[in-house]
Structure 1
Amino acid sequence: MLKNLNAGIIRRLAANSLKSDKKRNLFLIITIAFSACLMLTLSLKILGENTKVNRYMRGRYQTVFNDLSEQEIRELRERPEVEASGRKKGLCTPRIKDYTLNVEYADQSAASLLTYGNITGSWPEAEEEVAVEEAYLEHLGLPAVPGQILPLDLGDGSVRDYTVSGVLMGENETRVYKVIVSEAYMQTVFDGNPRYDMYIRLKDTENDNMEILKDKVRAFAAANGVAENKVFYSSTYFSLGEDLPIEKILAILFCCVLIVIATSLVIYSLFYISVIAKTQEYGRLRVIGTTKKQIRRLVRKEGMFLSGIAIPAGLVLGCILGFLLVPEGWKWSISLLFVIVIGVITEAAVMISIRTPVKIASSVSPVEAVRISAAEENRKTGKRKRRKMTPLNLAILNFSRNKRKAVLTLTSLGFTGILLMCAAAYLSSVDADAMSRSGFGLGCAHLELEQSDAGSSADEEGRTDYYTRIQQNNPLDEKLLEAVKQIDGVTDVLIFKGCKSDMIFPEMNDYARANPEELSFRNIGLTREQMEAYSGYLTEGTMDYDTLVQNNGILIADSDNLIGRYYGYTAKLGDRIQIKTDSGDTAEFQVMGVLRGLRLGIDVPFFYMPDACLPLLKSTVTNFNTHFMLVGDQENEEKIEEAIIGQMEEWNDVEITFLSDLRRQMIVMLDQMKLPLYGLVGFIAIFGLLNLINTLLTNVVTRRQEFGILQSVGMSGKQLSAMLKAECFLYVSGTLFLTLTLGTLAAWILCRVFDQLGTFGKLVFHFPFLPIFIFTALLLVIQVFFSLWAVNYCGKESLVQRIKTE
């Protein structure tokens, strides 16, 4: 009995089919490879930046031992457990007009452990030498070069000339600038007996769990006689994230979903067009006995062959780009994991995308296949409407000939337009002023009682005692209040009262018990009117002023549970909190209300109480003013700032902040957000444009015979060009219609959602005219170049050759 030897026939048929459609294959390989490359590059860049920061911070200090002599530091440095250490000492923070100097001593080891950045020049050595920040020199209008002379008051009230030995390079938008003095200066100021803070990194601890590392630090301090109250941990180091942080994984997943959707639309469209074009070919195979299952295998093998070329190429290129973008963040374990994951995702997207075209190819019967043609695919039975033969009508006829193909192309391009509209509208609607106000609070300028001093007085007294001493001679008095009220442009001055006290919570973790000095918090005293004004932020309990006064009630505002995370206490109604008074006793307050979302612009206040309760905590304080918030219209902000700067040197122990400074920082942050967002949309737009170009090119290549016949019966080259332009314009106008309708609606909803969340302040939808204009112009440019190419392509062959083309 004879056996039909058809082993490998499907593989050979797939290979022959691929050879006959090289243009489609090239588009598919480019699309799939580009998709895999883009997903992997984004993943490696996002995670590489995270790894880079972690590696960088793991080279910084882990703990600080406060107030040590040179001899103690020398002995500790010789211990074998110490990998690196440095000395630092804050001296003072003199304010000069609109900026503040942070005068300190730090040796080069400490500067390295504290991420001071690169220095141009040399570290100060002589008593009259200093190192300053590049931003400080720019603020003074001086060149950022060493060797120049600066007249400075380093906190002792006298101005002397100092030589700039080095310039610390980097940006600074805060108006608080570092000035690094020399060790010789320290010896002079402290009569040869300075005391320093010692910054330490222990050996062989890079991979330690943070709790294990804390145990090692505590053991090291105890073994070397360092008191527990002198040991502090680096909050930055101990808050380092994992190599695969969940928030970054979610960001990668979101980007990959968008890319996969865009890629799938293109792959589906390309295979669908290919299957429709090869219907007669599949029909002939069915006639000679090929089964539906074999047809499905044939089309799948084409997809697997193309993805087998494209995916490895895209992954290799993605690895190269990922490494080049963040070479310091390259990690083999993470990179190999994401190579596998992205490869599987891309292959799955390809197989899912070709599933429907595979079904279409296998469902064609032999009889239908031998009589079907592209022109007849969507021909309707019954009476047909007569149309005038114009280039526009012919374009509409061809556009509607295969509705699914047109819908696929428009969906791909419309998806790009909708994403562009959402990203552009969001960035256009984010108001830097609203963002800055959400963090700054009320007013356009704040005069605040100075919370701490960088000098030895604050170190010796403690933050609470230092703040109380300043408040006993409170500079925020009636005289200053009248002075700021007289400033031209100031319409109102909002006054907030409070004090700073040490707290004892009913529940605390080991860190809070071991570091009671960390439990120093500001207590905001609200007036009766302020209680009523902010009552809308109350989620449970009461804000009745009299009830709170009678019961020593306190309000808690800890929406992010920061107290719980750092100190182990989560407030509940009825809790009793002990607050230390300036007389050494404690006063008990009952938690009677919980607030959410209250932002006054007063650092991070957690505790509010009636202002009538403040004297219970500070019997030696008569003036509890902590903040003067100056209110004025935005057009008067500059005038108000100039007036404050002109007087501020007379206001001792007062910190001054301006809304305009925060606004500038927000603008810089927004500019940094725009590039990656527009970049992602731009990459996705490439998929849509590839789909458009492929559709248009396929139309021309497969319809050469049709064009030849039309020209043989009288169509001119100009009319052919007009018809092709009209076809392209239908795609362009359809894309713009989806962008301007669904895209605008989606963008409006997005802005409303973020506005409700309040993350970026008040969001008011603004239509992004410029980005949409650029997108429209790009589509029209493609239309013009396509029509020119199509006419030129058709003109390469004679009319007879085109009519004879099958």
Structure 2
Amino acid sequence: MTWPFENDTGAVVKKLAKRSLASEKRRNLMVVIAVALAAVLISFAAILSASVAQIQRNQVADTYEAVFTGVEADHVAALKDLPEFARVGEYYLLGQEHSEQGYNASYVYCDSDMIHIARSQMELVKGALPVQANEVAVSEYFLSAYGSHAKIGETVRLDTESFRGDYTVTGILSNVGEKEGNICAVAVSKAALTRWGGFDPAGYRAYVHFQNAEQLSQEVMTACCRDIAARYGLPHVGMNSSYFAYASKSIDFAATGGVAALALIGGYVVIQSIFRISVQDKIQSYGQLRTIGATSKQIRRIVKKESRRLGGVGIFLGVLLGVLGGLLLFPKGFHGPYYGLAVLLTVLACWFMVSVSVRRPVKIAAGVSPLEAVRFSAGQERVRSRTKRIRLNPVSMGLENFRRDRKKAVSIAASLSLGGILLLIVSSVVLTRSPEQAARLYFPNGDYKIYLSSEQPEEEIMAAGNPLNDGLRREILSIDGVTDVLVTRQSLHAKFGTSAGTGAGMCDALTDENRQEVEAALVSGAMPADVHSVLLAASYQKDLAEMDVGAAMELSLGQETVTVTISGLLDPARGTSNGHGALGLDSVALFAPEELFWELHPEIENFDYSWSIVSDPKKAEPVEAGLQEILSSRSNLGLDTIGTRIAYEKMQSGLIFGSMKALSWLIFLFGVVNLINTTLSNQMSRKRENSILRSVGLTGRQLCRMNICEGLCYAAFAALAVLLIGLPIAVVVCREVSRQSFAGEIVPYQFPILEMSLFLLVLFGLEVLLSAWTVSRQRKQSLVEQMRAVE
């Protein structure tokens, strides 16, 4: 603001700032890079969070909120006529059958509404759904691998147990994960479904999508579905938890805030260091301005204008790169308002970072008197007083150069070590929770599991004769390399709940063999004291507060229902990680005494649900091949291997920890920018000083050694800071990760030798290269030219 009695010197200040910018291209470039790097990190982190949330919302948008299971075709037709529903999808899962050609065919029936609802999993990309009994819609993978590249209207041959013969292709499906699992989706017509030998008229599912679903709460939809189920006598209705979790999902500000904090700290250190060095180099120019009448306020405004222009350019470039990166990597996650919010937050955060970073340099520039400015010489920073004389040599002179400016040394070491500390912590966590160790939690006894895998209810399979029987056990034990077969789970699918809410999941039998393991997973309450007491997974209690210790609820195991009391809550992750497949969807939801199983289902002789196959690790290939051969003729059984679990854990750790390692190296780049700027500044400010040393006998090799020694001091102090600060933090973090991941067990800490060796190699190698390069640049000028240089 200019008062009426003041002269408006804004134009002069603007011109001086513009001239200053034109005279320091190196500094300008370093500041722009530092600001742009911070803006890229912050904007990309914010856009990543926004894109992931939007993609998850897109997955459930206009899909379904509830599913009615065990209904008949007439019930589905009645639901379609209800005004509450905008869309009702009719679905029937026939199950998987093994083909003689080697693939597993997954047979389904669905109508056009169901195809729309399930489009994120299975999409009709061409053609139409089948109508006649001899028509099918098959996947692209099936046609390319087993269907001789047939087209719509042509015939393909199926050779499974229930469907065998030539069928006309009416449509082509795109199904998720087919190639990886060698499972081919085949959609059959309703005519073919009703002729199928295993057809159950009450085996349909109805997936419903409400009118104006965005305006209705979960409680309203749940109550409405229960009223409809009671009105039509439908056996069960389940709510789509994914829909309610993702439909209103918000941006993960915690992760974005963490990345922003690291970026702002790194940017602050670097930008302040760059401007402080720039101000020191131009102190004499500021002094000349002061002698001709410039005020401290005007000097302050000049430096601030420089920082704002450079900051604006850096923010623009960084935001542009961050947004483009988000659009390229997550094109389906674009959301205009969220992207705009991410850009706005990035601009505000980076503008704040630049403003704070230049406060100290601005104060230095404005606070120096004209006389002090004229006497000041860049490169002649205040050096610590020495109490004794030292012997001059390239090493001691390099050490003195390192000690001459403490603030600069601390700034460089801090900016270099920040990325190293983060890299040390992340790499240590990766070693603590390796994919192999995480997978072994699911396979404590062997590398293979055989379990019931069928759309048919477990109690029906077991009542008809559980395939996990003595005959199968003998076949498995006959495989070369198999040493034992252990029963790991006795289980039935259960439905449970109170008047306030319901849930569904696997109910495992509490036996003498697993009692100690289950008790170790108990988080509250006590073990069951009678046959009608159960243990419930704590995650269900979080969603339904009524399901707490001491509460009564209805428990259905198959068609039989009984009232039970919740005696305790447990954490399934504490030693009871027993789900199958990569996602473990059939993990235990609750435990009930074994006697309750016999009470409700006396007709079942064997409740075995899952077996662990103990084998010789040296014979892994013949064991797995033998198990695959045995199970190929049994459609109700599935095979789970530790290799599948390891691959899944590697994918998960690669996504999480890989991105964290990339962030570590990006933070390290702040230090690299600071180091390059300081090295180049030293080259300019010490040009006359080095030429004088060379004129009195210092050789080029000694000058190189002196510069390398100074540079290695920066690297050594940065490495020391990484060890002194990062190592204790890494040990504490790894202990907590180990305790959470391995049911309280503390895994010995492992130092990430490979990652830190690479970090030190880059750190020290960069110092040597920069030091050697500065010396080579100085050698290109004669001593006379360097001594005449005006600083």
Query: Common fold, TM-score beyond 0.5?
Result: yes
- 2:514 aligns to what SS in structure 1? helix
2:308 to 304, 309, 334: 304
Q: Which of residues 273, 276, 295 in structure 1 aligns to 2:277?
A: 273
TM-score (ref. length: structure 1): 0.82
- Tell me if structure 1 keeps the 8 A contact 2:459–2:558: no
2:650 alignment counterpart: 667
Structure 2 match to 1:477: 469
Inter-CA distance 660–99: structure 2 relative to 1 (3 Å threshold): farther
| 3-state DSSP of counterpart to 2:487 | strand
Aligned counterpart in structure 1 of residue 121 of structure 2, from 106, 116, 124:
116
- CA 1:119–1:441 in 2, change beyond 3 Å: closer, same or farther? farther
Which runs of 5 or more residues in structure 1 are unaligned? 513-517
Q: State the shift of 1:53 in Å.
A: 3.0
Residue of structure 1 equivalent to 2:357: 353
CA distance in 2, matches of 1:640, 1:786: 57
Q: Secondary structure at the match of 2:548?
A: coil
> In 2, distance between residues paired with 1:681 and 1:199?
45
- Aligned partners of 2:521 and 2:70: how far apart in 1? 43
Deviations 1:568-612 (A, max 9, x none): 53221x4444546889674x5444444333415153323324434
Which one of the candidate residues 233, 237, 248 is aligned to 2:243? 237
Contact 2:557 2:600 in 1 (8 A): yes
Tell me the matched-pair count.
Answer: 769
**In angstroms, what is the RMSD of aligned CA positions?**
4.2
Runs of 5+ in structure 2 lacking a partner?
580-585
Letter in 2 for 1:705: R
- Distance (whole Å) between structure 1 residues aligned to residue 566 and residue 76 of structure 2: 45
Deviates more, 1:194-203 or 1:419-428: 194-203
- Residues 754, 771 of structure 1: CA spacing in aligned structure 2 closer, same or farther, 3 A cutoff? same
Counterpart of 2:676? 693
Q: After alignment, is 49-58 or 201-210 more displaced?
A: 201-210
The partner residue of 1:803 within 763, 778, 787 is: 787
1:118/1:792 CA distance change after superposition, 3 Å: farther
Secondary structure of 1:236's counterpart equals helix
CA-to-partner distance for each residue in 1:745-783, whole Å, 9 max, x for gaps?
Answer: 443433222112218998664444444444444445544
Residue 601 in 1 paired to residue 578 in 2? yes
Distance, in Å, in 2 between the alignment partners of 1:679 and 1:653 is: 44
Query: Cα–Cα, structure 1 residues 393 and 241, in superposed 2: closer, same or farther, change >3 Å?
Result: farther
For the Cα contact (< 8 Å) 2:560–2:600, is it kept in 1? no
* TM superposition shift of 1:253: 0.9
Q: Does the C-alpha gap of structure 1 residues 152 and 228 become closer, same or farther in structure 2, counting only changes over 3 Å? A: same
Deviates further, 66-75 or 250-259: 66-75
Aligned to 1:515: none
Map 1:135-284 onto structure 2 (within 5 A).
145-146=149-150, 152-156=158-162, 159-160=164-165, 166=172, 168=174, 170-172=176-178, 175=181, 177-183=183-189, 186=192, 189=195, 197-201=205-209, 205-206=213-214, 209-211=217-219, 229=235, 232-242=238-248, 244-245=250-251, 248-283=252-287
1:131/1:168 contact within 8 Å kept: no
Name which of 408, 413, 421 aligns with 1:410.
413
Shift of 1:127: 5.0
Residue in 1 aligned with 2:582?
none
The residue aligned with 2:597 is 614
The answer as to whether partners of 1:554 and 1:607 remain within 8 angstroms in 2 is no
SS in 1 for 2:410: helix
Shift, 1:476, TM fit: 2.8
- CA shift at 1:251, angstroms? 1.0
Q: 1:508 to 1:134 in 2, by over 3 A?
A: same
Distance of aligned partners of 1:162 and 1:479 in 2 relative to their CA distance in 1, 3 Å threshold: same
TM superposition shift of 1:803: 1.0
Paired AA for residue 578 in structure 2: G
1:444 alignment counterpart: 447
State the match for 1:393 in structure 2: 396
> 1:335 corresponds to which letter in structure 2?
Y
> In the TM superposition, what is the alpha-carbon distance from 1:361 to its structure 2 partner?
3.8
- The separation in 1 between residues aligned to 2:27 and 2:640, in whole angstroms, is 61
Change (3 A) 1:174 1:328: closer
Deviations 1:69-95 (A, max 9, x none): 778867876888876665432113235
Q: Which amino acid aligns with 1:470?
A: M
Q: How far off is 1:418 after superposition?
A: 1.8
**Amino acid paired to 1:693:** I
3-state SS of paired residue (2:34): helix
Task: Give me the whole-angstrom Cα distance separating, in 1, the residues matched to 2:525 and 2:87.
Answer: 51
Question: Contact 2:139–2:186 (CA<8 Å) still a contact in 1?
Answer: no
Give the alignment partner of residue 424 of structure 1, picking from 424, 427, 432.
427
- After TM superposition, the structure 1 = structure 2 runs for residues 250-649 of structure 1, keeping only pairs within 5 Å, are 250-283=254-287, 295-364=299-368, 368-381=372-385, 383-390=387-394, 392-439=395-442, 442-450=445-453, 452-453=454-455, 458=456, 463=457, 467-468=459-460, 470-471=462-463, 473-496=465-488, 498=490, 500=492, 505=497, 507-509=498-500, 511-512=501-502, 522-543=506-527, 548=528, 551-552=530-531, 554-560=533-539, 562-565=540-543, 569-572=546-549, 574-579=550-555, 586=562, 588-596=563-571, 597-602=574-579, 603-632=586-615, 634-649=617-632
- Paired amino acid for 2:121: Y
Distance 1:253 1:437, change over 3 A: same
> 2 CA distance for matches of 1:99 and 1:556?
40
1:37 and 2:40 equivalent?
A: yes
Distance 1:765 1:149, change over 3 A: farther
Report the more deviating stretch, 206-215 or 409-418: 206-215
Partners of 2:194 and 2:599 in 1: CA distance: 44
Partner of 1:27: 30
Q: Distance in 2 between matches of 1:489 and 1:762?
A: 33
* Secondary structure class of the residue paired with 1:608: strand
**In 2: Cα distance, 1:397 partner to 1:488 partner:** 72
- Give distance in 2, aligned partners of 1:4 and 1:497: 87
Are the structure 2 counterparts of residues 522 and 208 from structure 1 closer, same or farther at C-alpha, using a change threshold of 3 Å?
A: closer
Worse-superposed segment, 362-371 or 79-88: 79-88
**Shift in Å at residue 252 of structure 1?**
0.9
Distance 1:384 1:89, change over 3 A: same
Q: Which amino acid aligns with 2:37?
A: F
Query: Which residue of structure 2 lines up, in the alignment, with residue 683 of structure 1?
Result: 666
Note if contact 1:433-1:663 (Cα within 8 Å) is conserved in structure 2.
yes
| Aligned-residue offset at 1:624 | 3.1
Deviations 1:383-402 (A, max 9, x none): 55232333x33322222221
Instruction: Please identify, of 523-532 and 30-39, the stretch whose mean Cα deviation from structure 2 is larger.
Output: 523-532
| 2:134–2:192 CA contact under 8 A, matched in 1 | no
- Equivalent residue, structure 2, for 1:730: 713
Contact 2:133/2:189 (<8 A) preserved: yes
Gap change, CA 1:559 and 1:716, over 3 Å in 2: same
Seq. identity, %: 26
> Structure 1 residues 134, 723: CA separation in 2 closer, same or farther (over 3 Å shift)?
farther
Structure-2 change in CA distance of 1:720 and 1:431 (3 Å): same
**1:408 Cα deviation (Å)?**
0.7
SS at match of 1:93: strand
Q: 1:149 to 1:37 in 2, by over 3 A?
A: same
CA contact (8 A) 1:526 1:608 kept: yes
Check the 8 A contact 1:472/1:622 in 2, yes or no: no
Aligned to 2:583: none
Conserved 8 A contact 1:36-1:343 = yes
Deviations 1:195-233 (A, max 9, x none): 8545454565456544556677789x699x865547554
Do 2:554 and 2:561's aligned partners in 1 also have CA atoms closer than 8 Å? no
SS in 2 for 1:692: helix
